[in-house]
Amino acid sequence: MSEITNGIKNAIVNIKIIGVGGGGNNVVKRIAENTDLDLDLIAVNTDHKQLKSLTSDNITKIQIGTTLTKGLGCGGNANLGHEAAENDAEVIKQALKGADMVFLTAGLGAGTGTGALPVIAKIAHDMNILSVGVVTVPFTFEGARKQKLAEASIKELMPYMDALITVHNDNLLKIKTSTKLTLLNAFRMADMVLRQGIRCVTELILTVGVINVDFADVKSIFQQSDHPDALLGIGESSESAVDAVKEAISSPLVERSLSGARGIILNISGNSSLSLYEVNEASKFINEHTHPDVNIILGTVINDNLGDKVRATIIVTDFSDNASPNEEKASTENKDTATKATTDNTVKPKTDDSLKLPDFMNKEKDNKKSSFSAFPFFNFKNDIK
């Protein structure tokens, strides 16, 4: 049973959001400032100063690795972040108790988030909690080492995730306004993308709509695939729901065609004049551009704060070919390298000790395939705060 108060479902579904490290903590902070939904927000960090800066009473703060870092950060050492989480595994387990669903979010490539997130993901997996990851990969200008650490952390996460959305920060450079994007706003935007990814799913479950999507619907979509690859798109239009859907899926920041998608959650939000015809046309458009056997779960939310705009949120999973853009890109690069090697005998593999992975990431594992990149639509002027 669920009670309804001011358009919010007071359901028995317990959703926890765990932000790990600096990037994850920032996401949790922004969610606390911008939501009325009933969410358990948890910030995990080795850095006491950063945790102390989170002043909201709605955030549970967990400091890990106190004996290892003495209350400081990990200094980019992912091994230290991993060990810190393992040492405080019982504390993390207690924080996860009672959760039906958990979102794990971090900016990967440094120490705490990169090392600790896979440990927390395994704990949630062992507790049979539906787990969705929303993470970022660093900008190229941050260096090859950070990107390599991030990709290795993603591989560690894969076996424990029901869905994993990976946002490559370089995709920020593809938006029309990127030439005017300040360095500070670039990182704020990356945090905002993680927040948007989490918000769209929690709204689907916890907000009352004319056509509702509940936890069982979301769970069925995320668990119907053997691969955790997931894609998220958000679009807005003043014209129609179909245009909002097109905006969500056709952005150059969404790197994959939906033609092979077999699992879709579509949420359409608009004011009280949102028509059945619009919703039907939007759903029809999705049907026409996905796999013939696609399982579509459609939900609607009435939100008069949107004015004359319609917002479409789409979550895509269970691709029939299971190949990600990351893998396709790697395959192309490998072919190019092989071709170059056959024509230039002087080509030698590059080695650099600074690019070596942390010890815990060098273990041989039969991991699932690498997650592909996803980037939701956003309004540059309105969403950067």
Per the annotation, where are the binding residues for GTP? Answer: 22-26, 111-113, 142, 146, 191
Query: Between the CA atoms of 363, 369, 370 and 373, what dihedral angle is there, to the nearest 10 degrees?
Result: -170
* 19-48 CB burial, b ≥16 within 10 A, e <16: bbbbbbbbbbbbbbeebebebbbbbbbbbb
Measured CA to CA, the distance from residue 107 to residue 169 in angstroms comes to 10
CA distances in angstroms from 126 to 209, 224, 300, listed in the order given? 33, 19, 33
Helix or strand holding residue 5 (H, E): strand 3-5
In this structure, what token pair is assigned to residue 164?
């994993």
Exposure on the CB side of residue 369, measured as CA atoms within 13 A: 19
**Phi and psi based region of residue 326 (left: phi greater than 0; alpha: psi -120 to 50; beta: remaining):** alpha
Residue 139 · residue 174 · CB < 8 Å: no
Beta strand pairing call for 163-168 and 261-270: unpaired
Q: Which residues are annotated as a binding site?
A: 22-26, 111-113, 142, 146, 191
Length of the chain: 385
